[in-house]
Amino acid sequence: MRTAVVWDALRSVLAERTAATGREGLDIVDAGGGTGGFAVPLAALGHTVTVVDPSPDSLAALERRAKEKGVGVSALQGDADDLGELLDRDSADLVLCHSVLEYVEDPITALTAVAGVLRRGGAVSVLAANPVASAIHRALVGHFDEARAVLDDPSGSWGDRDPTPRRFTAETLVELLNATGFAVGAIHGVRVFADLVPSRLVDGEPGAAEALVALEQAAATHPVLRDIATQLHVLGHRA
């Protein structure tokens, strides 16, 4: 439910790249892919998937998950910045960069590395935390000073205890992608309502989950609602 909007965008990219390359199975890299929430389903669709992640524990869980689903996924330990050292240049059709730019030392360096492993016309899927949503969520639990701090801080952080070092608006994500040579495509808001609606309203009503997914899909490109989503999803293409 929380990733339905991202999957909609990925399905469109996969169809586009399959048509452009004439290959049913694409080469996909999941930078920071962790335990394989995206990688394993993509491998099950017939794609060749490589996960690059700094955590050996996450990679071990990924391998168990892939084995349980009966698919093969390559696992490499490293950071997004290391893609150029771990993978061949121009070797990927699609790179996922989900919940990564918030934590890397330098987002420009990370996206430059992503661009290096993408083939011409290849796509990057970027998913990042949104500071506006963080301000809303801090206010809803009564942390009003922290909510204001998010809005005032250039990195979108609410303080020293904030587990997310930086957050991005749609504008800053577009600037990052343009600066690293990508043509920016669709921008979607992810989890506009899903993090605000109490789970009892979803779990206890027949059809509520499906209705919430439909609402999320409608809100994802709404000119106002998109920009208050918990995460922002941007597609970029290597020129």
Q: What is the pTM of this model?
A: 0.95
- On the question of pLDDT at 134 being above 80, the answer is yes
- Whether 183 and 152 map to the same domain: the answer is no
Cα atoms found within 13 Å of the Cα of residue 167, Cβ hemisphere only? 26
Q: Check pLDDT > 90 for residue 1.
A: no
**pLDDT (0 to 100) of residue 205:** 83
> With bands split at pLDDT 50, 70 and 90, how would you rate the model's confidence at 203?
confident
* Neighbouring C-alpha atoms within 13 Å toward the C-beta of 44: 12
Q: Is residue 239 pLDDT above 90, yes or no?
A: no
What is the pLDDT, as a whole number, of residue 164?
A: 97
Residues 137 and 88 in one domain: no
- Looking at the fold, whether 147 and 125 belong to one and the same domain comes out as no
Burial class (CB in 10 A: 0-12, 13-18, 19+), 51: buried
Residues 78 and 143 in one domain: no
Task: Give the dihedral of Cα atoms 45, 34, 137, 198; nearest 10 deg.
Answer: 50
CA torsion through residues 86, 89, 93, 95, sign:
positive
Same domain as 121, residue 67: yes
Q: Which of 114, 143, 165 is the last residue of a domain?
A: 165
Please write the tens of the pLDDT for every residue from 22-48. Answer: 998 999 999 999 999 999 999 999 999
Question: 88 with 140, same domain?
Answer: no
How many structural domains is the chain composed of?
2
Q: Residue 123, Cβ neighbours under 10 Å: how many?
A: 27
CA 80, CA 199: separation in Å to the nearest integer?
34
Q: Check whether residue 96 and residue 148 sit in a common domain.
A: no
Lowest mean pLDDT segment, chosen from 74-83, 132-141, 180-189, 203-212 = 203-212
Per-chain mean pLDDT for the chain: 96
Compute the distance between CA of residue 235 and CA of residue 239 in angstroms, rounded to an integer.
Answer: 13
**Are 47 and 160 part of one and the same domain?**
no
Pair 28, 82 in one domain? yes
> What tokens were used for 103?
């934590």
Its domain, for residue 214, covers: 4-129+168-238
Residues 123 and 172 in one domain: yes
Q: CATH code at 95?
A: 3.40.50.150
Both 64 and 49 in one domain: the answer is yes
Identify whether residues 155 and 173 lie together within a single domain.
no
